[in-house]
């Protein structure tokens, strides 16, 4: 597998149904293993649709999404396998993303068996090492998803993504359901992985504090379009678009009351 992992959106549109809703409208964006990108915007701004296309779960109605220069929609099985190894998703809903009938160990081990062809013994060793790195007791992995706390289950979701050592980690509202104290711990784990392994990050959220904590570049979406894209400090302190200014001002007004993720 190539050590590079570049995903490029070129004038991407995603519309649903004839004459229906356009969730993503003319987005051009490039992220790679050197990127720490935060994508922010209100509900309905197109963030989750963008994520689904980024990880290959959905495809554009127009425009292209390419991985290392190859259209994801046109990939052959071997190309898709390399893509899945390089780009991994941590989803928001850990309740539905785990099979309630299978242990957490089964869930975390599965990507190694499918994508790397590892046998059970070798895969279990890699699972245990990943869990310890995330501050989890490997014995917890023998439980079912409902038998651990929400914060622990989110760590297992991160472990399932990290166990194959991706080059680009994509987090879709990965901490929005967690308490602020747990958010900080989880975000630090994500930052540490990206720093230690030289991996890229796309962190998608409607919450500005968490996004600004992990990202060094901010992309602001509004009504399906990217309205601002720049370094974190520039977007936070010198926003150019009216919607971005509204988003930043709202955070400043409510941040002290709600608490914030530690910097």
> Residue 228 belongs to a domain with what CATH number?
3.40.50.300
Considering the domain boundaries, does residue 161 fall inside one? no
Count: domains in the chain: 1
pLDDT for 180 beyond 80: no
The pTM assigned to this predicted structure is 0.89
pLDDT value for 257: 43
Considering the domain boundaries, does residue 174 fall inside one? yes
Band of residue 96 on the pLDDT scale cut at 50, 70, 90: confident
pLDDT for 196 beyond 70: yes
Considering the domain boundaries, does residue 149 fall inside one? no
pLDDT value for 93: 73
pLDDT value for 135: 84
Q: What are phi and psi of 196, to 5 degrees?
A: -75, -30
**102-119 per-position pLDDT tens digit:** 999 999 999 999 999 999
Average pLDDT over residues 227-238: 95
- Which of 169-173, 192-196, 248-252 comes out lowest in average pLDDT? 248-252
Considering the domain boundaries, does residue 135 fall inside one? no
Considering the domain boundaries, does residue 116 fall inside one? no
Considering the domain boundaries, does residue 104 fall inside one? no
pLDDT for 175 beyond 80: no
Mean pLDDT, all residues of the chain:
89
Considering the domain boundaries, does residue 240 fall inside one? yes
pLDDT value for 263: 39
Strands 200-205 and 7-15, sheet pairing: unpaired
pLDDT value for 238: 94
Query: In which domain, by residue range, is 243 found?
Result: 7-99+167-258
pLDDT for 73 beyond 50: yes
Considering the domain boundaries, does residue 81 fall inside one? yes
């Amino acid at each position: 597998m190539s050590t590079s992992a570049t995903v490029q959106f070129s004038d991407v549109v995603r519309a649903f149904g004839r004459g229906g809703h356009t969730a993503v409208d003319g987005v051009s964006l490039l992220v790679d293993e050197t990127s720490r990108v935060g994508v922010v915007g209100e509900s309905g701004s197109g963030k989750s649709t963008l994520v689904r296309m980024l990880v290959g779960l959905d495809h554009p109605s127009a425009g292209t999404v390419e991985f290392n220069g190859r259209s994801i929609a046109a990939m052959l099985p071997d190309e898709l396998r390399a893509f899945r190894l390089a780009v991994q998703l941590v989803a928001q809903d850990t309740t539905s993303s785990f099979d309630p009938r299978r242990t957490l160990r089964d869930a975390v081990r599965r990507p190694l068996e499918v994508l790397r062809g590892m046998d059970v013994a070798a895969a279990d060793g890699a699972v245990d090492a990943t869990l310890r790195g995330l501050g989890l007791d490997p014995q917890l992995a023998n439980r079912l998803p409902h038998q651990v706390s929400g914060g622990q289950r989110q760590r297992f979701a991160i472990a399932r993504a990290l166990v194959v050592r991706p080059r680009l980690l994509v987090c879709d509202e990965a901490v929005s359901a967690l308490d602020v104290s747990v958010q900080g711990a989880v975000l630090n784990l994500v930052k540490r992985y990206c720093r230690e392994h030289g991996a890229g990050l796309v962190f998608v959220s409607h919450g500005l504090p968490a996004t600004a904590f992990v990202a060094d570049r901010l992309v602001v979406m509004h009504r399906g379009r990217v309205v601002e894209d720049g370094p974190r400090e520039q977007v936070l302190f010198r926003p150019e678009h009216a919607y971005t200014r509204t988003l930043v001002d709202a955070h400043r007004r409510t941040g002290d009351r709600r608490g914030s993720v530690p910097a």
